[in-house]
A and B are shown apart, each in its own frame.
Chain A
Amino acid sequence: MNVYIGKRMMDALGEANLSKAKVMTTPNHPVRFWIITMMLVLLGLATLKLR
C-alpha cells in the first residue's frame, strides 16, 4: 500500500509566520514587513514619473 505524506513548501503559513519560524524573532518581523511595504509604496510612487 502506498503511503502518501504531505509535504510543505514553507515551515508555516502565511508569510509572516514563515519569517517567525525561520530566523526573525517575533517583535522585529512586523517592523520589517512594514519596511518592505514602505519600499513597495515608494516603488509605486516612482511609477508616476517613470513611464
Chain B
Amino acid sequence: MLLALTQWLAQDVRTFSVFNYITLRAVLAAMTALFITFMLGPFMIRKLTAYKIGQSVRSDGPQTHLIKAGTPTMGGALILVAIGITTLLWGDLHNHYIWVVLLSTLGFGAIGWVDDYRKVVHRNPKGLSARAKMAGQSVLALIVGFYLLQNATTPAHTELIVPFFKTVAIPMAGFAFVLVCYLVIVGSSNAVNLTDGLDGLAIMPVVMVSSALAIFAYVAGHAVFSKYLGIPYIQGASELAVFCAAIAGAGLAFLWFNAYPAEVFMGDVGALALGAALGTVAMIVRQELVLFIMGGVFVLEAVSVMLQVSYFKYTKWKFGTGKRVLLMAPLHHHYEQKGWKETQVVVRFWIITMMLVLLGLATLKLR
C-alpha cells in the first residue's frame, strides 16, 4: 500500500522514487515488523495471561520443563499479524507471489490456531487430530503446488536446481513438481513445529534462514544477478525479499520475549505458519535443496523423531520390547538428557544453523 502511495507521490517529488528499490523496502519491512512486534508484544502477553491461554507441558518430557506449564502460548499470532501488516504495507500488491506466500502462511497459521485453541481453551490435550491437521496441511500445500505449476512460464520455474552444480538441473513433470512442493511445504512446516520445544530454539533459525532466503529471492528475481550467478531467473521473485525480511524482523522481536526464560511461546499457530512460509518461498525461488541444507537443524529434529518412533515400533514388533535410538526425541531433548543446559542446546543449535546458512549462501557462488 505504501509502495502505491510513494509511487503516486514520486510523480511530483522525485525523492519518493527511492521506495521503488526492493532492498530499501526489505530493510524498512524488517524494521516495521520489529516495531509492530515490540509494540504489541507486552499487550498480547498480558491478554494471553489474563485469558489463561497457557502451555501444557508433556508429562513424559524432561522434568526441568514442568515449571514452564502455564506460560502463555499462541504468541505466533503476534508474528503473523506483524508479518501480514508489514507485507501489505511494503510489498508490491500486484505481485502474485506475495499473495501466494501470504495465503500459504496464514492458512497454515489457521490450522495451528485451531490446534492450539482446542488444546488450551477447550482443554483438549489432543487438539486437532493428527489426521485432520495433515489433511488441512496437504490441501493447502497442493493448492500452492498446482498454482505454481499453472503459472510456470519457463522450464526454469519447475526445475529442481542441484546446489554446487552449475549445469545440473532436473526437469520435473507436472506431478513430480506438485509432489516436491507438497513434501517441502508440509515437511518444513512440521519440522519447525517439532523444533519449537525449547525457548528460542525455533525462532532464531527461522530468522536466519528467512534472511538468507531474502537474498536468494532478490537475486532470483534480478535478471543480471541471476544470469551472473547461474541460477534460474524468476520474474517477480525479488518481491519475496520484502516478505522474508518481515519474517526476520518479526521473529527477532519475538525472540525478545521468547528467549530463556520465555514469557510467551509461539505455539503451533506460529511454528506451522513459519515453516510453511520458508517452504513456499524456497519452492518459488527454486532453492528447495538449499533450504534442506540451511534448515538442517529442522531436518535433524524431524528425522530424530521419525527414527526414534520407527526403531521403537520395529524393536517392539521384533523383540517384544521397544528400544530407543536417542535418550529422548526430538533431538534437543536428547542433549538435555545428556546433561546440556537448555540455553546451551539452544545457542549451539543456533551456531550450527548459522554455519549451515553460510554453506547455503556459498552455493550461490560455489557451483
B256 at the interface (CB under 8 A from A): yes
Q: Which residues of A contact B253 (CB under 8 A)?
A: 35
* Chain A residues near B21 (CB-CB < 8 A): 49
Q: Chain A residues with Cβ under 8 A from B259's Cβ?
A: 27-28, 31-32
* B260–A28 touching, CB < 8 Å: yes
- CB of A42 within 8 A of CB of B31, answer yes
B242 at interface (Cβ–Cβ under 8 A)?
Answer: no
Q: Are B255 and A25 in contact (CB under 8 A)?
A: no
Which range contains the number of B residues in contact with the other chain? 10 to 19
- Interface of B (DSSP majority class): helix
Contact present for B27 and A27 (CB under 8 Å) = no
Interface size of A by Cβ–Cβ distance < 8 Å? 15
Determine the main DSSP class of A at the interface with B: helix
- B27's contact among A28, A38, A42, by CB below 8 Å, is which? A42
The B25-79 residues at the A interface (CB cut-off 8 A) are 27-28, 30-31, 34
Q: Could you say which residues of chain B place their CB within 8 Å of the CB of A48? A: 23
Question: Does B114 touch A at the CB level, under 8 Å?
Answer: no
B31 touches A35 (CB 8 A): no
Is B291 an interface residue when CB atoms closer than 8 A count as contact?
A: no
Number of A-B contacts (CB under 8 A): 41
Q: Which residues from 220 to 259 on chain B have a C-beta closer than 8 Å to any C-beta of chain A?
A: 249, 252-253, 255-256, 259
Interface: B24 (CB within 8 A): yes
- Shortest CB distance B166–A (Å): 29
Give the CA-CA distance A50 to B21 in the complex, in Å.
11
What residues on B are CB-neighbors of A28 within 8 Å?
259-261
Chain A nearest CB, measured from B68 CB (Å): 14
List, in ascending order, chain B residues with CB within 8 A of A32's CB.
Answer: 256, 259
Taken together as a complex, chains A and B put the C-alpha atoms of A48 and B259 apart, in Å, by 31
Q: Indicate if A5 sits at the interface (CB-CB under 8 A).
A: no
B53 to chain A, nearest CB (A): 21
- Assembly CA distance A45 to B253 (angstroms): 18
A 32-51 to B, binary, CB cutoff 8 A, 1 in contact else 0: 10010011001101101110
In the bound complex, residues from chain A placing their C-beta under 8 Å from that of B296 are none
Which residues of A pack against B, CB within 8 Å?
25, 27-28, 31-32, 35, 38-39, 42-43, 45-46, 48-50
A25-B261, A35-B253, A49-B24 given; 7 more Cβ-contact pairs under 8 Å: A28-B260, A31-B255, A32-B256, A35-B252, A42-B31, A46-B31, A48-B23
